Amino acid sequence: MQVAVELELPHITTEVSTVLPAAAAVAFEIFADAVEIPRWLNVVHSARVLERSSDQRARRVAFLTRLRGGTLGYVLDYDYDLDRTAIRWTTPDESETRIAGEAQFVELSPQACLLSYRIAIELPFQAAWADASFDGHAASAVVSQFREYLRRFA
């Protein structure tokens, strides 16, 4: 039984790939720093690490996201695949808000990599994001903001 289908939650799935101006390992590490996400992703108000793995990577992170009508809080569990320079995240099974995604960084040159980013979002209400670009294509908005952050600070 899938609760999301029974509740008819709005479901958004978007995917995009782009070239980033950084080596894959560098872009991966910057993206993997969950505490820094509010610095480059304008809809995320805050990120707090709840649990870390033995190698000190964020395993479980609580986020507050800005919506036009208020704030959405959710928790993401992270999984890192260092061999593929990929990160996967998902909300816990008991969450009413469902978010899952993956970012993979593929080396193109010492100064560039390909980011493939996919996200699926199911909300128990109709969302009006603080940034209208998230309404149409969330993955493009995330990737665009991360690319700009890399250009300024990496």
How confident is the model at residue 123, as a pLDDT? 73
pLDDT one-digit tens code per residue, 82-103: 999 999 999 999 988 888 999 9
Residue 129 CA to residue 88 CA, distance in Å, equals 23
Q: Tens digit of pLDDT for each residue in 57-66?
A: 999 999 998 8
Cα(71)–Cα(44) distance, rounded to whole angstroms? Answer: 9
User: What are the residues facing 13 on neighbouring strands?
Assistant: 120
At 121, is the pLDDT very low, low, confident or very high (cuts 50, 70, 90)? confident
- Looking at the structure, give the CATH architecture of the domain made up of residues 3-153: 2-Layer Sandwich (3.30)
pTM of the prediction? 0.83
What is the domain partition of the chain in residue ranges? 3-153
Report the distance separating Cα 50 and Cα 110, nearest Å.
34
Instruction: List pLDDT tens digits, range 7-52.
Output: 344 466 778 999 999 999 999 999 999 999 999 998 899 999 999 9
pLDDT at 21: 95
Three-class SS of 12-48: EEEEEEEEECCCHHHHHHHHHCHHHHHHHCCCEEEEE
Q: Please give the helix or strand (H or E) that residue 73 lies within, else none.
A: strand 70-81
